[in-house]
Chain A
């Protein structure tokens, strides 16, 4: 294939469409990244789904159902985008179920209180938006278009989380404690969502050259911290980082050392909920098999009738 032509399109800020020629490595990297993004969306339904039956009001419950439904939709947009590159959906799901492909480490943490649902919307979806907005301009046409849809919907996710957090932060002392406790537990895992630091992120340079990645992990992390710390102050909550301070000279927040050992441990499968998340996913897939089989049987019966008629 003509790699120069491909690189010209990418360098000229053009989009690579499914039937264009592209280097094998580009195709493989994109399929893996989009698939793992899709896996994260559908696994991400679990921590919040945990609170649907116990949401504190009908309003919160309706919002949460809509949000979790969106996560399912985001997964489907992304699996669809991966398929335009030649991936097979069954195979992708199989890779998730057998642990050969990963999903974001953030979803391996438990949601032990209602405030965790608020914190996830505010922090986890906030970090996801920071990551996903640049992807709306990435070199892969189908991925970029899926991201535009996702980002539009994600904004509701973050706002509902911040609103719920505001209510708790301005509530009774017990509610305030709940809100602070959720921030304490979700802050550092959220910072790790941006991936390893730049000096430990071997694939970043290639992804940048291919126009898949636009900003480095550390750049995006810094933006997230700068955007989020004032929001925490507004809520009257304390970010659990004794080293955190605003550097007046740069206008950026300086923050403490990130625990990467925990990141890699959770990645390897040793987080608090890894086993539970995967088991639940596999069970849901297996228990839904009869629905897929019934739908297929009905479709082939109807098709046979049409042929006969």
Chain B
């Protein structure tokens, strides 16, 4: 089954205005069946208004081993946060 039926990652949008969120994965022979299976598996109680299915092999992920080096560039830039800046208490609406 695994060889004939590739693995699909399923993303569900729970309601309009929210982004699609990863819900889990399933096996299906093709995209059409993957969508239908995803509907039956992850939205039996109207949990979604839209579903994406993506072949698991098409997902490119960052490696946890490189986590430090990969995300390092933003580690030393606290000045990107508003809390970095001192504002006198007497100044409001800022």
Report which A residues bind B (CB closer than 8 A): 17, 19-21, 66, 69-70, 73, 76-77, 80-81, 83-84, 88-90, 93, 145-146, 149, 153, 292-293, 295-296, 298-299, 302-303
A292 to B4, CA, bound (A): 8
In the assembled complex, the CB of B60 is this many whole angstroms from the nearest CB of chain A, namely 12
Q: Given A83-B7, A298-B29, A146–B24 Cβ distance below 8 Å? A: yes
B27 touching A89 by the CB < 8 A rule?
Answer: yes
B64 touching A20 by the CB < 8 A rule?
Answer: yes
Within 8 A of A (CB), among B23-45: 24-30, 33, 40-41, 44-45
Q: Given A83-B7, A295-B33, A90–B41 Cβ distance below 8 Å? A: no
Which single member of A73, A80, A90 contacts B25 (CB below 8 Å)? A80
Q: Give 12 pairs: A residue, B residue, CB < 8 Å, sorted on A.
A: A19-B64, A20-B64, A69-B44, A73-B41, A80-B25, A80-B26, A88-B2, A145-B24, A295-B5, A299-B29, A299-B33, A302-B30
Report which B residues bind A (CB closer than 8 A): 1-5, 7, 24-30, 33, 40-41, 44-45, 61, 63-65
A70 touching B61 by the CB < 8 A rule?
Answer: no
Please provide the 6 A-B residue pairs with the shortest distance between their CB atoms, ordered closest to farther. Answer: A299-B29, A296-B4, A299-B30, A295-B29, A80-B25, A80-B24
Main SS class of interface, B = loop
Q: Can you name the residue of chain B whose Cβ is closest to the Cβ of A19? A: B64
In the complex, chain A residues whose CB is within 8 Å of the CB of B1: 89-90, 93, 292
A81 to B25, CA, bound (A): 8
In the complex, chain B residues whose CB is within 8 Å of the CB of A81: 24
B64 touching A89 by the CB < 8 A rule?
Answer: no
In the assembled complex, the CB of B56 is this many whole angstroms from the nearest CB of chain A, namely 9
In the assembled complex, the CB of B49 is this many whole angstroms from the nearest CB of chain A, namely 18
A298 to B33, CA, bound (A): 11
In the complex, chain B residues whose CB is within 8 Å of the CB of A93: 1
In the complex, chain B residues whose CB is within 8 Å of the CB of A76: 26, 41
Q: Can you name the residue of chain A whose Cβ is closest to the Cβ of B61? A: A19
Which single member of A20, A145, A292 contacts B5 (CB below 8 Å)? A292
Q: Kindly name the residue among A153, A295, A302, A303 whose own CB sees the greatest number of chain B CB atoms within 10 A.
A: A295
New A-B pairs, 6, CB < 8 Å, besides A20-B64, A21-B64, A90-B2: A81-B24, A83-B7, A89-B27, A93-B1, A146-B24, A295-B29
Q: Given A73-B41, A302-B30, A84–B63 Cβ distance below 8 Å? A: no
In the assembled complex, the CB of A304 is this many whole angstroms from the nearest CB of chain B, namely 12
A76 to B28, CA, bound (A): 12
A216 to B1, CA, bound (A): 37
